[in-house]
Amino acid sequence: MNDNEHILARQVISLLDLTSLNADDTDATIVALCRKAMTPVGPVAAVCVYPQFVSLARHTLNTLGGDTIRVATVCNFPGGNLPLAEVLAHIREALENGADEIDVVYPYRALIAGEEQPGRELVAACKSLCKGRALLKVILETGELNALLIRRASIDAIEAGADFIKTSTGKVKVNATAQAAELMLHVIAETNPEVGLKPAGGMRLLSDAAVYLHLAERILGKDWVSPRHLRFGASSLLDNTLQHIGLSAETPTQGAY
């Protein structure tokens, strides 16, 4: 592995939202995820878990010395079609339990049906709860949208207060693609470069993440790329990235930072 690949691997790990959103997740699953987040070359950016595991994830990370790792959770997930009042109640509870970031699914089915207002209202209402307390990441489910609707949803989410726009839930047939990410990055560049991008779903190899990293650098510049502006939502990407460094997730972290 050359020096450039080593630098790339470390950078990707620092931008990773290490994710476990499985129906069979247990307390043990989440504890193991948090341990894995403390990698031999430094912590990931965040762990992303279902709402019922937020408190456990925060406590576990703090116990491990991972207080800089943020805890993200999902709401209106994965269908994007819950009543607004229910979504807001879930967000309030997640915030009270220590969530640092809320990944909320945009009502993309309403947009497909020609209704733009539900998406704008949902994002604005979620932002009012999250402002000053948590980052709001809005999942557009781009694999279900055409290019015109991806652009419309991106603009509406940003104008309504999204801190990030995110491609996918990882629960549909088509998840993150370079084409969708490029379109979203151009919208960010045109509207508000302070907004971040989170490609999610389908990334398993370091080379997969590199595609999005290079797109972001080309469109918004190398200085834009940081955990505040770019995240990778994945569950298995870490293993492959550590392999490129010659390590594994089980390598002891002591003294590695």
Q: Are 77 and 169 in contact (CB under 8 A)?
A: yes
Catalytic residue among 127, 156, 166, 208: 166
User: Is residue 198 among the annotated active site residues?
Assistant: yes
Q: How many Å separate Cα 216 from the centre of its chain?
A: 15
Catalytic residue among 36, 127, 137, 198: 198
Rounded alpha-carbon distances, angstroms, from residue 62 to 66, 69, 121, 251: 5, 9, 35, 20
26 CB burial (10 A radius; 0-12, 13-18, 19+): exposed
Do you know the residue count of the chain?
Answer: 257
Catalytic residue among 100, 103, 156, 208: 103
Closest CA to 161 of 190, 119, 189: 119
Q: Which residues belong to the active site?
A: 103, 166, 198
